[in-house]
Amino acid sequence: MSAAVTALTRAQGPAGFARRLRRRERLVGYWIACDNPVGTERIAGLGYDYIGVDGQHGVMHQPGWQAAMLAVDSRQRSAGIIRVPSADPVSIGVALDTGARGVVVPMVDTPEQTLAVVRACRHHPAGTRSLAGPVRAELRVGSVPAEIDDEVACIVMVETASALENLDAICATPGLDAVYVGPADLSAALGARYFGDPSAAGALEAALERITRTARRAGIACGIHCLDGESAAKRLTEGFTFATVSSDITHLQQAAASHLAVATAAVAV
């Protein structure tokens, strides 16, 4: 394989995820909540641009992150990213040391927190991340700090009233690659009694429009979690540059319920 072909393959594959994100290309991802590497491996071969592993609300904790990244990487089609539990730099470092191509950091309220997150994703002199050495990340993103940083995406979530208040400053944080909307928590912050509460629908849509506009002005990517592919397509036409489709645990239940309904209806006839 020629050097030119190798470079093109790398740019379009998992290794190019962070750069494609920064260029605000349209990307579609999938969400993994179950600690099930076999299932994750199957989904990782479908062609999603990225696979997000939930280390905050899912049943997967740190010991499962490594297995999930191995499962994603085995197919060499999607980039594996991890939503960490918090803005704790230790958790961010652990996630990136598994070979994750990026981290999603929840509940970030201020530009100061955002800058700390960015620094936790970058090595000296740009940040505070420790150079991991001969662990799994080295096999995927190399051992040269600047090159590693170029292949790692730093994404913070906008999902609180404080984040909305500080949105312009958060988006302007040097080194931040993207903001990501958690619509359930953002709805609650806007007064919804539950996710999907029609009384807060107008406020949510206005907030989403403001977030996409602010991210575009700052030149960073802007993503959102969606309930299904149709919603993801809609959001991508509205100014979001990446969208995540539902989750494995949701689709597992939906598929099982659908087949049960068909089977029991046939028996009842």
Report the range of poorest mean pLDDT among 96-100, 108-112, 252-256.
Answer: 96-100
* Residues 55, 88 contacting (CB under 8 angstroms): no
pLDDT at 5 over 50: no
Mean pLDDT in residue range 140-160? 91
pLDDT at 83 over 50: yes
pLDDT band at 143 (very low <50, low <70, confident <90, very high): confident
pLDDT at 146 over 50: yes
pLDDT at 135 over 70: no
> What rounded mean pLDDT belongs to the chain?
93
Quote the CA–CA distance of 198 and 194 in Å, as a whole number. Answer: 9
* 239, two tokens: 């100014």
> pLDDT at position 268, please?
77
> pLDDT at position 4, please?
47
Quote the CA–CA distance of 48 and 29 in Å, as a whole number. Answer: 5
- CA trace torsion 10, 14, 15, 17 (10° rounding): 110
176-192: per-residue pLDDT in tens? Answer: 999 999 999 999 999 99
pLDDT at 8 over 60: no
* Residues 78, 85 contacting (CB under 8 angstroms): no
pLDDT at 167 over 80: yes
> pLDDT at position 141, please?
74
pLDDT at 134 over 80: no
> pLDDT at position 89, please?
97
For residue 51, give the 3-state DSSP assignment.
strand
For residue 54, give the 3-state DSSP assignment.
strand
pLDDT at 137 over 90: no
70-79: per-residue pLDDT in tens? Answer: 999 999 999 9
Q: Is position 251 annotated as part of the catalytic site?
A: no
31-51: per-residue pLDDT in tens? Answer: 999 999 999 999 999 999 999
What percent of the chain has a predicted confidence (pLDDT) above 70?
Answer: 93
238-248: per-residue pLDDT in tens? Answer: 999 999 999 99
**Which position among 57, 61, 124, 259 bears the catalytic label?**
57
pLDDT band at 138 (very low <50, low <70, confident <90, very high): confident
> pLDDT at position 12, please?
72
